[in-house]
Amino acid sequence: MRILSWNVNGLRACARKGFVSVLDASGADFFGVQEVRAFPEQLDPAVRQPDGWHASFSSAERPGYSGVGLYSRRAPDSVITSLGDARFDVEGRFLMARFGRTSVATVYFPKGSGKERDNSRVPYKLDFYAAVFDRLASARRYGPVYVMGDYNTAHEELDLARPATNRKSSGFLPEERAELTRWFDAGWVDVFRRQHPDEPGHYTWWRQWGGARENNVGWRIDYVLCSPSAAKRVTASYILKDIEGSDHCPLGVDTSD
């Protein structure tokens, strides 16, 4: 089984750059997208419901903002898009689908920077993390869980090119990193880091100016986190840095299922 994740930075824009071709050539069983920034009815039919795929979406109430989606080769048994708190649900950041005993979630965690780059949204971001953590608890008890998405947090210094100059920036604040540590302490597994320990230079997002991507000045802020039972099934974890179409690149895991 293959699970892929991609913050597409606007699905309509990414579609014009070949998203459907990437999807169809991916070999994925599940392909989660974040930052869709469109209502489903605004998507071209070939993107909204590609041949051979079942597609589910959770949209923000605000037009052109946020949103997540999941493409799957078979229809899900159930889909959950609510975290039970209107503060989060109106932003369309969470979707979890169940396939038998396996659950697959695609999540777009908020930035903490705020409109004025003043870190004013950090409390909201941490509350969102906690709500997702709690929502996933029951799914973990039921079976394997894969939580893919843009977490908007680099956990360790080797997860970004310039840690020293970003210690006061949202995405690398101590409290944000501590929240990810709480997840790992609770058993969630960063399978990419498990398979690539102590290796710098692996990033999933680059600024769109100043030659950041060409010079690999990036951040690893996208993950596929796995519950303990899911992590046991993972045979490979990778970042597809050469696929363009967004300021993020896809990443994924293969499993023995």
- Tell me which residues are annotated as active site: 150
Q: Tell which residue, 146, 59, 133, has the closest CA to residue 105.
A: 146
For residue 218 the two structure tokens come to 């990036």
CB-hemisphere CA count at 13 Å for 122? 19
Cβ pair 228, 184 in contact under 8 A = no
The torsion angles phi and psi of 116, rounded to 5 degrees, stand at: -100, 15
Give CA–CA dist 206/164, Å, rounded. 17
Cβ pair 121, 112 in contact under 8 A = yes
